Amino acid sequence: MDTTLRGVGVSHGVAIGEARHMGTAVLEPPAKQIDADEAPREQQRARQAVEAVAADLQARGNLAGGEAQAVLEAQALMAQDPELMADVERRIAVGSTAERGVYDAFAAYRALLANAGEYLAGRVADLDDVRNRIVARLLGVPMPGVPDSDEPYVLIARDLAPADTALLDPTLVLGFVTEEGGPTSHSAILARALGVPAVVALPGAGELAEGVVVAVDGSTGDVVVNPSAEERDELAKAAEERKAALDATKGPGATSDGHKVPLLANVGGPSDVPAAVEAGAEGVGLFRTEFLFLDDSERAPSEEKQVEAYRKVLEAFPEGRVVVRVLDAGADKPLDFLTPGDEPNPALGVRGLRTLLDHPEVLQGQLRALAKAVEGLPVYLEVMAPMVADRADAKAFADACREAGLNAKFGAMVEIPSAALRARSVLQEVEFLSLGTNDLAQYTFAADRQVGSLARLQDAWQPALLDLVSASAEAAKAEGKSCGVCGEAAADPLLACVLTGLGVTSLSMGASAIPFVRAQLAKHTLAQCERAASAARAADSGPEARAAAQAVLSGE
């Protein structure tokens, strides 16, 4: 008999196959004591294992490219954290083996993050993965990771570390289901980039039997265990209908009555560009530049290196629009040469534009590189600052852009509620707004975007979040300026219609979501989108808002 479980759908599509579980975590090493004269050798073993794991993560990032590269390089830096290594060596000096010293040092840091309730608590899954890889190397056992299989399967895991998600083989991994995670977690973002159907935050996912057939609907969040032949046919038919709708809808994004909604791509670097072009992206709505700065945590990349990378992306969209976000360092993306190491709550500390204003030489170097990269190209370059709180922030950024001689539009990201509430004030200094709904939800609801148990509050359908989107869009319209969305909310086809109804002027998302959003918009008029937006804002919860919008758009 079949059972239907409900999680959070984070990557569109349907996958049907046998469940295969992620390899088990490394067992806890024995608490064996060593003699004092053995400590130097064990410390050397620990250092070698750490460096080997960091190199492996870097190599995986180079293979994956794009957003995955940035995530994995950040994880490699985590492995090489000097304070963690110093703690490992202290534990070895008083009698621990290398593997036990690593295990205990990481456990102490893990507990610190988890109990503090900080933004960095969301990095616990990444920290566990790094620990497991180091301990596995020291013990001489296989690395934890995806199962070996010659047949396609649905991957089941408590959570997926970026190192595993980034290199999933879509020909073997039909889809994946995790017990933890959230709609804006690294795994969800990378799943969308890969185009792999995925459901996260599914209670009891780990209890699914090995080999049981499951049907995963990454659009609805439903996971059907032992689906009947009829259910399989229905899901397959629905998937075919979606594909046919996608194939039938081409060209620029627009509603059925011709209201234009440019559909742009989120990219992490040049390697993400081919998929964006293939999906028909009309430009780039979010070019994350962090990947360039993660190669070396001790210093910023040279202007020449930056120019080369920026120009590759700009050249891919002649006559198109490319929106570049300057470096967003801090919180879960620390850089040794920029980020304070002793902040009690990094998410509420010096990150984004605040970091760059503290280090104007880094900001000026990036802006000069962008000015050089766009020379002679017909592309429409726009540059925006992350974590803008008020008009003073916006003015400081616009002044820096002018000082660098940048021939581009200057904009501000709306990720902090204050910027949404005072959007007209911010727009006195900049020419456009771009809503980062991931962080905007996090700060609106005080809900860490990486914590699966808080998925309800990370839901971009929350009416309070829609109110802030509406306030920003209305302010931009009043000022005769644009207001786009570059957060993960734009990748939800139904929500894309609601955002359009709220007055958003462009939508940017992972390349794999563009066809789904284009097809959904083409089904409805602007007036229908506006009615759906009003219905969603009148609801009291995220699920109620979705249901209300769905009812309007389906004509119920």
* Contacts for 59 with CB less than 8 Å, ≥ 6 apart: none
Mode of pairing for the β-strands spanning 213-217 and 14-21? antiparallel
Nearest CA among 434, 448, 488 for reference residue 347: 448
Exposed/middle/buried for residue 293 (C-beta within 10 Å: 0-12, 13-18, 19+): buried
Tell me, yes or no, if 186 is annotated catalytic: yes
Alpha-carbon separation of residue 129 from 119, 169, 185 (angstroms): 18, 19, 15
| Angstrom distance (rounded) from CA 49 to CA 523 | 55
Mode of pairing for the β-strands spanning 263-267 and 283-288? parallel
State the chain's maximal CA–CA distance in angstroms.
79
* Contacts for 377 with CB less than 8 Å, ≥ 6 apart: 311, 314, 315, 318
Instruction: Name the packing angle between helices 463-479 and 526-537 (round to 10°).
Output: 130
Token pair for 364: 């000026």
| Angstrom distance (rounded) from CA 547 to CA 60 | 41
Tell me, yes or no, if 359 is annotated catalytic: no
The HSE-up count of residue 70 (CA atoms within 13 Å, CB side) is 25
| Angstrom distance (rounded) from CA 329 to CA 398 | 19
307 residue type, one letter: V
| Angstrom distance (rounded) from CA 86 to CA 84 | 5
What's the order of all strands across the beta sheet hosting 8-11?
A: 3-6, 222-225, 213-217, 14-21, 153-157, 173-178, 198-200, 8-11
Find tokens 């949404």 and name the residue.
420
- CA end-to-end span of the chain, whole Å? 32
Q: Which of 12, 21, 186, 359 is catalytic?
A: 186
Token pair for 23: 């390899």
Q: Spell out the alpha helix ranges (H) of 405-539.
A: 417-421, 423-426, 437-445, 455-458, 463-479, 493-501, 514-521, 526-537
Q: Which of 486, 497, 524, 529 is catalytic?
A: 486
Q: How many residues does the chain have?
A: 556
The HSE-up count of residue 226 (CA atoms within 13 Å, CB side) is 7
Per-residue exposure over 451-473, b if at least 16 CB sit within 10 Å of its own CB, e if not: bbebbebbbbbbbebbbbbbbbb
Positions marked catalytic = 186, 486
